[in-house]
Structure 1
Amino acid sequence: MQTQAHSAPPPSGRLLEHPAREEIRLESVLHALADPMRLLVVRALAAADCEQACSVFDLPVSKSTTTHHFRVLRESGVIRQVYRATAKMNSLRRDDLDALFPGLLDSVLAAGALQAERLGG
């Protein structure tokens, strides 16, 4: 997996690996979106429509499991993570996903919303 080029290193000096757009695979995206906790994160990021710190997500799992879920989302190309000072900020890679898999993200988000309504969550 290649690290996308950055114009300058972040102030913290920490870089996170992300697949380049052309390296994002459908099966990896579907795997990432298949987990209920990861789908919850993606739905929240889509609703916020801006970067969100990991700390704003109150998932009913341990911190290490939460970290794992964010890593899966990042490594599959669903989200982008960057450090801003000490916070790890997350954003949805909507442009990349829409370019590669037109309609997929919107369909998954709509289905997730319908399921949440149906199940009362």
Structure 2
Amino acid sequence: MFSQFQQLDRAFTVCQDVKGFAAKELMVKLVGRKVLLRGKKETQSEDGKGFFCYKYEVFKWEWDLPEGVDPDGLTCFISSEGQLHIKAPRQALTPTLERNVPIQITLAGGAEAEALLGSEVGADGIAKA
């Protein structure tokens, strides 16, 4: 079994050789940010003389999704060559919402500042009590 992992432009791509396994014998599962691939199959053969041969094959692969990859966009398919492709796109950049940031004014000087805070300011810019 051969596995190939690529990270192109922060996207996630895995190509795993699963020749000899049917799709129903494979399971791809996403747990948190971990991608799990499991394969399991059992074959039975008879030699014609009453002897049976059982073959049981199991494999398990795990990959961590890198930061910046969208786990909700995870997809997989099997090619005609028996290659399982698992892909996830990079996350779209979240646009920054526009907002005004208020400017706070800090007055220096103890009692004088307190007097200005409690008074009205006239048209000439001078505080009135």
Structure 2-normalised TM-score?
0.22
Q: Which has the higher contact order (CA 8 A, sep 6+)?
A: 1
Which structure has the highest strand share of the two? 2
Higher Cα Rg, which structure: 2
